[in-house]
Structure 1
Amino acid sequence: MTRTRKLPDEDGEEEEPKRQRLAVARSQQPKPEISRPFHHSRPIQYTDPQTTTPLSGRYISKRERALFGSAPSVPDPYPVPSSFTSLGSISDSNLPHDILSMLRHEGKGHLHVSQMPEKLSVSLHSHTKAVNAIQWSPSHAHLLASAGMDHMVCIWNVWSRDKKKASVLNFHNAAVKDVKWSQQGFSVLSCGYDCKSRLVDVEKGMETQVFNEDQVVGVIKFHPDNSNLFLSGGSKGHIRLWDIRSGKVVYNYNRSLGPILDVEFTRDGKQFISSSDVSGSNVSENSIIVWDVSRQVPLSNQVYVEAYTCPCVRRHPFDPIFVAQSNGNYIAIFSSIPPFKLNKYKRYESHGVSGFSIKCNFSSDGKKLASGSNDGSIYFYDYRSSEVVRKIKAYDQVCIDVAFHPIIPNVIASCYWDGTLSVFE
């Protein structure tokens, strides 16, 4: 039997234990009380004002347990979805034979590399708000990840004969801005408005690491040669290089910048390019900066002097150049070799940006550059000539992101402002 220590009060009588007094006092309050959940995925529980049932998770004294021993339980009125929901398989065992053959033989001998996407192949619906980013898995290329304003990351088994939505990740409790696959295995890294980057093992359905920041994290990027390192950029202008093994920041890149819109490593991984929002100032320098990764210093901060922000930066897979999507409704092209000059004689301009975070991407062979557009179309440019070679009208909603398939050359995925995803081939 547990003994309760009692202390004499001023009248010489033994004082009732403080914990019991507090418990009874709470139980006698007429207003319903709300218990604070210990974790965002645990549902909030209410007490019924009629029965005054005890609050979940709070210490309950013996006296209070006796008082409420016969009280009926009240069901949770607002159930919260699980952090991980498995809806289908992430295996490639249920793919059509022709798709599986191309994936396993890396598309060789099946399609000429000059072929381009022509028609809608798969339409994917799950997100209830805008999709901010998509990416094909580099190691399991039948899988596509998407990040949405509805707090969800979805994993799609695009060509599966069964359910195409393989799983839903609800680990974020705010809008998700970006998602990237690890270069090996079934892990995805995502970031967003909850000021966190989260690493999730999709195969096990487990969140394995959380990287906390003091800013909304808008973009993440894995190092091209070391999948244990990734860059993050956020709303306060801070850029950080993280090491997954230690869970700590390796380097900080600070220069009193506006919100970071995108980051991109150069091909050798020794430098990276950052794009920041300069709309709050009259100085356009610092819009695009080339950084030395290990020295943490800018190599150039006057790369782009136009008075436009650039929501997307992408390097060419082979040539020493990178491009930047400009809110001036064109894609600018730059050298990735010092002094990192803008090519004043060539740009890609037919699509519209108009202030949206519209992204662009190179094909795996580097011959094509595709961009989303505010008119709901995908624009395909010839990399060398900068001419439009195809335009696919998909939806009336803004096309936010486009992603060429890493193996099958005539496949591209796209996502839209209404939450829809489409795959064309």
Structure 2
Amino acid sequence: MDLLCAAYSNAEEEEEEEPKRKKSYHHTPPPKPYIPSSSSCTVSNLHTQTLIPGSYVSKRQRASMSSISTTSLPLSSSPSFTLSGSISEADVPHNILALFGSEAKGRKNLNSISERLSASLSGHTRAVNAIHWSSTHPHLLASAGMDNMVCIWNVWSRDKKKACALNFHNAAVKDVKWSQQGHFLLSCGYDCTSRLVDVEKGMETQVFKEDQMVGVIKFHPNNSNLFLSGGSKGHIKLWDIRTDKVVHNYNRNLGSILDVEFTTNGKQFISSSDVSGSNISENSIIVWDVSRQVPLSNQVYVEAYTCPCVRTHPFDPVFVAQSNGNYVAIFSSTPPYRLNKYKRYENHGVSGFHIKCNFSLDGKKLASGSSDGSIYIYDYQSSKVIKKIKAFGQACMDIAFHPVIPNVFASCSWDGGISVFE
């Protein structure tokens, strides 16, 4: 709200200057325009205030009045953006900021996993489906909830850790991703939209509408203007933010899309779809060519399980898929995209939840949530459990390793809780 007030206060100052410049042409100066108080500094007040007869009306004010009947109010109205803390690094302790600058050193020292709880973040009233760290502002964590809300957390803030809440969606939010450029955040959900928000300004900048509930989104690794979306009707779309249009459609009569993941070079992507309503499982995991819109392989995983999560290894030419068979399967990410039949990561439970998994920064560990509320840390090479951390009373839904600080990761739960461990 302060941002809106500041923006409009500049306009009011400009309007006051115009009558002063015309002062020499009138024996009696025109009345001073009405200026709303800070307590009433809202978009609706600026449009509907009563003008004093004879007062000067600026071009900006006339344009604003003429657009009332044809233009809706700005998307950043106060009920959709609640600022409760700060997204600034100024609230982060110096020792944490120092770690942000030691990225190269930190990635070489990932030998241990601690289970010390660094922060417990509460604010969602229902299940949290997904979390994501900002790579450009690594003190910020975003979360998507079944309470229709996206929360931004200033995790190490000395004051309020919940920086702001975004309520632009009018149904449950399924996924959230930070852009690689600035404070822009993309989210999607059951209201059949993906929404791009400028968190710094508290403004929703774009809405991408579909004819399906949108369950997953993913920015292109080499071009932050492009992102994939997958939804309940089995449609996968590649959007261009610059034009608000779909660049490519990837359709193959699939079930609901559960996850999408680009390969490291960005030329292919992997999709996972729900095959529970079908007698064939060959479409469970498909590798696609991004530019040609054709599947390169649709017989990657032939077991009769759906895979709610797919993740590529940061360095090796492999990817993993979380299976409802209560294990993580591993595949080659180069042709012929074969399943490794002799290696899997098991012991955790999925039990029908949309449980996610993730690799550590150095790729030496794989972490997975579990339906028993625990976090399972596996050794990537041996597939053995290194550590089990009991984090929540209900299912642990997502794991996100910090993009800079080694051994720091966040997790979220079906009970609405978020925990950060270091």
TM-score category (smaller protein):
0.7 to 0.9
Partner of 2:244: 247
Q: Is the 8 A contact 2:106 2:406 kept in 1?
A: no
Cα distance, 1:321–1:246 mapped onto 2, change above 3 Å: same
Q: How is 1:8-407 mapped onto 2 (pairs within 5 angstroms)?
A: 82-106=79-103, 108=105, 112-407=109-404
3-state SS, counterpart of residue 93 of structure 1: helix
For this pair of structures, how many residues does the alignment match? 349
In the alignment, the residues of structure 2 paired with residue 260 and residue 413 of structure 1 have an alpha-carbon distance, to the nearest angstrom, of: 25
Q: Does 1:411 align with 2:408?
A: yes
TM-score, normalised by the number of residues in structure 2 = 0.81
CA distance in 2, matches of 1:109, 1:199: 31
Local SS of the residue matching 2:115? coil
- Counterparts in 2 of 1:277 and 1:110: CA distance versus 1, 3 Å: closer
Partners of 1:114 and 1:340 lie apart in 2 by 30
C-alpha distance in 2 between matches for 1:257 and 1:315: 22
The CA RMSD measured in Å over matched residues stands at 1.7
Native 8 Å contact 1:117 1:412 kept in 2: no
C-alpha distance in 1 between matches for 2:396 and 2:331:
24
Deviation (angstroms), 1:183: 0.7
The equivalent residue for 1:72 is none
DSSP 3-state at the match of 2:105 = coil
How far apart are 1:145 and its partner, in Å? Answer: 0.1
Q: Deviations over 1:213-261 (max 9, x none)?
A: 0000000000000000000000000000000000000000000000000
Per the TM alignment, residue 191 of structure 1 is displaced from its structure 2 partner at its CA by: 0.2
Quote the offset at 1:412 in angstroms: 0.7
Q: TM-score, normalised by structure 1?
A: 0.80
Aligned-partner residue type, residue 169 of structure 2: H
**1:385 offset after TM fit, Å?**
0.5
Unaligned runs of 5+ in 1: 1-41, 43-79
> Could you tell me how far apart the structure 2 residues matched to 1:229 and 1:156 are?
25
Task: Say whether the 8 Å CA contact 1:116–1:409 is kept in structure 2.
Answer: no
Q: State how far apart, in whole Å, the 1-side matches of 2:127 and 2:208 are.
A: 24
Q: Is the 8 A contact 1:107 1:409 kept in 2?
A: no
**2:303 counterpart letter in structure 1:** E
In structure 2, give the amino acid aligned to 1:257.
L
Q: Secondary structure at the match of 1:102?
A: helix
Distance 1:393 1:255, change over 3 A: same
Alignment partners' CA distance in 2, 1:234 and 1:371 = 23
Matches of 1:268 and 1:370 in 2, distance apart? 23
Larger radius of gyration: 1
Letter in 2 for 1:97: H
* Structure number with higher helix proportion: 2
Deviation at 1:184, TM superposition (A): 1.4
User: Does the Cα contact within 8 Å between 2:372 and 2:396 map onto a contact in 1?
Assistant: yes
Report % sequence identity.
Answer: 78
Gaps of 5+ in 2: 1-42, 44-76
